[in-house]
């Protein structure tokens, strides 16, 4: 599916894969494999933004995926996010949607909110918030309406 379809239909918290359609390079070719992995990977959908403008320059709609965390000893040193424009030529697939009843923790309210944690239930989300510094966090429970809309439109959950 296209990037535009992800923006329109994928719920925040979904695992999204992307691919350019090329076959994977053998592991012995480390540089070629690293290049291939740039255009063929997966991540959790953490933000969707509609079209906007910066001054007189129009910016297309986009979405951001959390691809990986790197660190040691329980400390995250680098967090990798990838942002894709709605006109991206890559092929996207929703690999997994959040289950009904899961709770999304956003860093703030509003259209520019970013998913910072996906909890199995509300007590888990509140417990996570006590250990992390998000004073303006917003909790949002995944509803049956989101999953039901996908089933009615013929997409797998």
- Entry pTM: 0.84
In a domain, 88, yes or no: yes
Tally of domains within the chain: 1
In a domain, 12, yes or no: yes
**Cβ neighbours around 143 below 10 Å, total:** 12
In 3D space, the residue among 107, 112, 116, 157 whose CA is nearest the CA of residue 137 turns out to be: 107
Mean pLDDT in runs of 10 for the chain (157 residues)? 87 94 90 91 93 79 93 91 92 93 93 92 94 91 73 46
Residues 100-132 have pLDDT tens digits of 999 999 999 988 899 999 999 999 999 999 998
pLDDT at 150: 54
In a domain, 140, yes or no: no
Q: What does the buried/exposed string (b/e) look like for 148-157 if buried means 16 or more CB atoms within 10 Å of the residue's CB?
A: eebeeeeeee
pLDDT at 17: 95
Task: Find the domain containing 26 and state its range.
Answer: 1-97
In a domain, 10, yes or no: yes
């Amino acid at each position: 599916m296209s990037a535009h379809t992800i923006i329109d239909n994928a719920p925040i918290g979904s695992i999204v894969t992307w691919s350019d359609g090329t076959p994977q390079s053998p592991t012995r070719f480390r540089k070629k494999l690293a290049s291939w992995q740039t255009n063929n990977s997966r991540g959790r959908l953490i933000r969707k933004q509609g079209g906007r403008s910066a001054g007189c320059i129009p910016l297309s709609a986009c979405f951001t995926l959390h691809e990986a965390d790197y660190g040691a000893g329980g400390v995250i040193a680098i967090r990798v996010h990838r942002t894709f424009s709605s006109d991206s030529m890559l092929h996207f697939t929703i690999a997994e949607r959040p289950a009904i009843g899961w709770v999304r923790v956003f860093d703030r309210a509003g259209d520019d909110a970013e998913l910072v944690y996906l909890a199995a239930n509300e007590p888990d989300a509140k417990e996570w918030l006590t250990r992390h510094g998000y004073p303006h966090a917003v909790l949002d429970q995944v509803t049956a309406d989101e999953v039901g809309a996908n089933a009615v439109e013929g997409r797998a959950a």
